[in-house]
Amino acid sequence: MKIAVIGTGYVGLVTGVALAEIGHDVTCIDVDRNKIAELNQGIPTIYEPGLGEMMLRNQNANRLFFTDQHAKGLDGVEVIYIAVGTPQRADGSANLQYVEQAARDIAETLRDSVIVVIKSTVPVGTNHHIKEIINANVAPGIRVRIASNPEFLREGSALRDTFKGDRIVVGTEDPETGNILEQVYKPFGIPIVKTDISSSEMIKYASNAFLATKISFINEIANLCEKLGADVEEVAKGMGLDHRIGTAFLKAGIGYGGSCFPKDTNALVQLAGNHHHDFNLLKSVIEVNNHQQRMLIEKLITRFESLAGKRVAVLGLAFKPNTDDLRESPALVIIPKLVDLGADVICYDPIAANQGTRWISAPAVYTKNILKALSGADCAIIITDWPDIKRMEPDTYARLMASPIVFDGRNCYSISDVKQAQIEYYSVGRPSVIPETIH
């Protein structure tokens, strides 16, 4: 099938490459000429393990193309995906200007009837709004059918989520459109959930809001565990064995971040408010998460009389491993606060170190060498649970740091291993470890 994807950001590029991989003829369209130039050279413009190889393979097979010209990209296509950004406005609502512009671009370019699939995360009602824009601007006689097809991609494992996903959700106005999209996705071999458009739009928001709720819940349990002397990991294990609860997203830490959970939870609260529904539960989820990102700073302040002149190693910038994305990362809150408190900050990240100065204005040093970051540090803060951090022996801190004091926001190490390493260790929802020599 001949397909076009508008937008080559995270969702658009992964979608286009994956559809080409299963045999479709795909053209990805973006107004950013520099980005298109890089993509045409086989250079992925986002970091995602395995994506570059798959992209290049399909370009060489003449199944995947990139252009900044809508007329060229939309010529003769049967299905058009809109996968542009929906950034958060100041009030928490989704900004739909890029989706609306994509709709106008489609309408002004179309010469044949098509299915337009909105893959961008949009509030309930957006698909119908976009159809109105297209119908108001398209040439007479051209039929445009609209469909909702939300994405459930996790950064760092997007290809696995695409090819091994739990479900594909397709919301349509008529069975025929649903059947066509079912054929598009048939090679994936993944269960397809067909529903109406509004329900499909809500499934995306409800799914992310529920996962965010699980994260904030276990973090509140963790904070209570610290006060009661319990171990949140033992608690989560005991909870997760109940099949009604499950183990996923019950890992305590310093909260969720990234491009989805913060934006989608805020947007759902705003959407509810617009319809006179006070979403108190989700407001609390957001409040807990915001506090959780400040929690490590509070522990530092409790431990040290002053951070003035202290060398602080921050381990991890990205909001999660296997991505260079800093959107809503705890690092954006923690690093400026450390600088405000007078600390000399050096930050390590194996992938996102080059993104630091772009996202954080506070003065800090950035490195891809973890040993350099730890050398001579007065304390270390773990923000991202990168595999190389988790694999590192805890006694490395004792060997390299001026004072081996570690604040672990991701519970990377077992308490027993830390005790053997003779480091001072503060984690989330677990007992602190204080070497006897300090008592």
Would you please indicate which residues are annotated as catalytic (active-site) residues?
260
CA distance 149 to 138: 22
* Residue in the block written with tokens 């050279």: 41
Structure tokens at 240: 């997760």
Residue 368 CB neighbour total at 10 angstroms: 13
Query: Do the Cβ atoms of 288 and 219 come closer than 8 Å?
Result: yes
Cα of 58 vs its chain's centroid, Å: 25
If you ran DSSP here, which 8-state letter would residue 140 be given?
Answer: T
424: Cβ contacts below 8 Å, ≥ 6 apart:
403, 404, 405, 406, 432, 433, 434, 435, 438
CA 249, 430, 263: angle at the middle one, nearest 5? 35
Query: Do the Cβ atoms of 141 and 163 come closer than 8 Å?
Result: no
Structure tokens at 91: 């009030």
Identify the bridge partners of residue 64 per DSSP, sorted by sequence position: 26
Identify the bridge partners of residue 194 per DSSP, sorted by sequence position: 170
CA distance 438 to 157: 42
3-state secondary structure of 227: helix
Query: Do the Cβ atoms of 131 and 148 come closer than 8 Å?
Result: no
For residue 417, the one-letter residue type is: D
CA 376, 420, 403: angle at the middle one, nearest 5? 20
For residue 178, the one-letter residue type is: G
235: Cβ contacts below 8 Å, ≥ 6 apart:
221, 225, 429
Nearest to 353 by CA among 379, 329, 337: 329
Burial class of residue 223, CB neighbours in 10 A (0-12, 13-18, 19+) = middle
3-state secondary structure of 62: coil
